[in-house]
Structure 1
């Protein structure tokens, strides 16, 4: 069996968007690299016109090549590129093929597939670090735009009660449930937006690692989900956007508490 492989060179910020787009035209294996990523599909299923249309809007920001290859062991290839991630002195993210490291108080086992949230990206790291500083014990938590479900899993590991999550991508919802099972973490996942969720009345903690424009649009909705004194943790935006995000949060009654930065990315904590 032969596979068609597309090798995409792009910025780190654009890579996440393009991986989601290429998944929508049938590519089912993605391997990130230092220049972008490569994705594969069975050659019999490859539609060059669909790929061209999918990338058309980004032509001035990316370059890509297409080639046909014999079938590779994509799991082995992915494993050779994936290393455990130290989030803090307390927490490590690892794949199931890595041994556990007893020096960490917490660990999360992740098989990311095509979903976002391996711990390698700065925003995921920052969100997890903020979670480690907030009491989750017996709290109800919502993870909006959950990707791999890594933040929802962290909430359960930290002692949360009910954890609800949502994502607009089918594969992310499936992956989130798989990763929750790997970590013996019971979460409830809805495929859709926050409006589609089977929600509790209120949550003590709401997590949203998405992007600036979505956050600005949905912060009022997030606020409506949070208990009095509860927390909102946000990421997916840059240092220069923090003032704008804070202004929007303040406008709906959310109080800025703190933020963390890494490589110009930010995760901020607000209180309702």
Structure 2
């Protein structure tokens, strides 16, 4: 039997919950459960590093407890707590078990597995807000770290001609394939990949991931962007902006627009 470490935080604020989910997702935690007065996080016992968590979260002043538990279906709780993302009258993202959202231009249906993940409402909302303003008709689009595939699906619905969606996680690729199929987005090429080496250049790159992945791949993203092309990125906390901007500038990219929701930010970049 596989065992996990259950890490439980007592009385974290909503803002702290969002930050902790983001930080712990980068440390290998596979599941989260949010309650009114707690946040639970789950990681395979073999990957548990108490000192690393203390170093990462100790300065926030939130207490936690740990216990060893048997593996269970984390996604069941995640599904029950999933709520639709509605971006004005432009787009809604809902689970298959929700009622249709009236009065939106585009509706995306997903199976909300954990690949939706980190700060999903804020970061997804802002990515979709940026996409509303982009003319994607006939454009080539890369969804880098596709997760559920919803940004690629939205690009298809907005008329993009060529769409490549990649992720390095088997579960995410499987989930994205399900969501691409249910939304009948037949022109999306979905692949498991760790790098961009085999791919060409794109007019638009969508990257809703996290600071560390974006910094590690900034040069590759720039190299695979057409002159005058656009990168939309999120999965970032407000405190990440300075490092992202410095990396962007060193790779001949410039921030031309930005959004913030709670502690999360999204950035639009283009070539210098």
Q: Which band: TM-score by shorter chain?
A: 0.7 to 0.9
Distance change in 2, residues 1:229/1:178 (3 Å): same
Whole-angstrom CA distance in 2 between matches of 1:116 and 1:250? 30
Query: How far is the alpha carbon of 1:155 from its aligned partner?
Result: 1.1
Once the two structures are superposed, what CA deviation does each residue of 1:80-112 show, in whole Å capped at 9, x if it has no partner? 422222123321111001121221111111212
Aligned residues: 256
- TM-score relative to the length of structure 2: 0.79
Taking a change above 3 Å as real, the CA distance of residues 56 and 147 of structure 1, as seen in their structure-2 partners, is farther
- Residue 195 of structure 2 is matched in structure 1 by 194
**Match status 1:14 vs 2:14:** no
Distance change in 2, residues 1:87/1:127 (3 Å): same
Once the two structures are TM-superposed, the CA of residue 141 in structure 1 deviates from its matched residue by: 0.7
Change (3 A) 1:160 1:147: same
1:182 Cα deviation from its structure 2 partner: 1.7
Residues 1:64 and 1:110: Cα distance change in structure 2 (over 3 Å): farther
Q: Which residue of 1 aligns with 2:156?
A: 156
SS in 2 for 1:215: helix
Report how far residue 32 of structure 1 moved: 4.2
Which residue is equivalent to 2:105? 105
Instruction: Describe how 1:22-61 pairs up with structure 2 within 5 A.
Output: 22-23=29-30, 31-33=33-35, 35-37=38-40, 48=45, 50=46, 53-54=48-49, 57-59=52-54, 61=57
Structure 1 residues 4, 157: CA separation in 2 closer, same or farther (over 3 Å shift)? same
Shift of 1:54: 5.0
Describe the shift of the 1:132–1:80 C-alpha distance in structure 2 as closer, same or farther (beyond 3 A).
Answer: same
**Counterpart residue number, 2:145:** 145
The alignment's C-alpha RMSD in Å is: 3.3
TM-score normalised according to structure 1 size: 0.79
1:228-247 aligned within 5 A: 228-247=227-246
Report the alpha carbon displacement of residue 74 of structure 1 after superposing the two structures with TM. 6.5
How many Å apart are 1:164 and its aligned residue? 1.0
Check whether the contact 1:19–1:30 (CA below 8 A) recurs between aligned residues: no
**Contact 1:93–1:119 (CA<8 Å) still a contact in 2?**
no
1:43 corresponds in structure 2 to: none
**TM-fit CA distance, 1:242:** 2.8
Q: Following the alignment from structure 2 to structure 1, what is the Cα–Cα distance between the partners of residues 94 and 80?
A: 13
User: For residue 63 of structure 1, what is the aligned residue in structure 2?
Assistant: 64
Contact 1:93/1:118, CA 8 A, preserved across alignment: no
Residues 168 and 55 (structure 1 numbering): CA distance in 2 closer, same or farther, change over 3 Å? farther
Contact 2:32/2:74 (<8 A) preserved: no
Q: Distance in 2 between matches of 1:110 and 1:136?
A: 22
Q: Partner of 1:125: helix, strand, or coil?
A: helix
Listed as ranges, the gaps of 5+ residues in structure 2 are: 58-62
| Equivalent residue number for residue 204 of structure 1 | 203
Deviation digits for residues 220-270 of structure 1, max 9, x if unmatched? 111111112211111122334334423332333223321111113211111
Paired with 1:263 and 1:150, the residues of 2 have a C-alpha distance of: 22
Unaligned runs of 5+ in 1: 24-28, 41-46
